[in-house]
Amino acid sequence: MIRDYGSAVLLVPCFMRRPFDMMLCLRDSTRSHIYELTPDEVKTVVTGWQDAIPATRAVMAEIGRELAYNVITHNGPGGGLYFEFLPYTRETGGFEQLGLVSCQLDPFQAASRLKRLI
């Protein structure tokens, strides 16, 4: 976990495909749209984005990569509303094209580096 905001949490998932992938997950998984959030939850989401984007920018500079990332908003059943921050930290290789993911960094190490950058 990178940061706990109370109604949401910013974390590095244990199933990350590339180093430094992050997820901002709301604790109330029954919410599936931003308009359903309370004003405090909206502020929490904004704060999470304000932490995740600069951390992504900093880590990309730190590892010597050009800034490139995607942010995906998910709102399907089962997980509710959550956001994925996916920095393009490396090229897709042969294993990934076969459907096998090989990540060079442990999620705990990634979370600890991202905590330091926030």
Pairwise CA distance, residues 20 & 59, whole Å? 8
Structural domain boundaries in the chain: 3-117
CATH code, 3-117: 3.30.428.10
Beta strands in the chain (DSSP E): 3-4, 8-11, 22-26, 69-74, 82-87
pTM here is: 0.85
- Mean pLDDT value across residues 21-39: 93
Q: Which token pair is 115?
A: 């905590």
Amino acid code (one letter) for 44: T
Q: How confident is the model at residue 78 (pLDDT cuts 50, 70, 90)?
A: confident
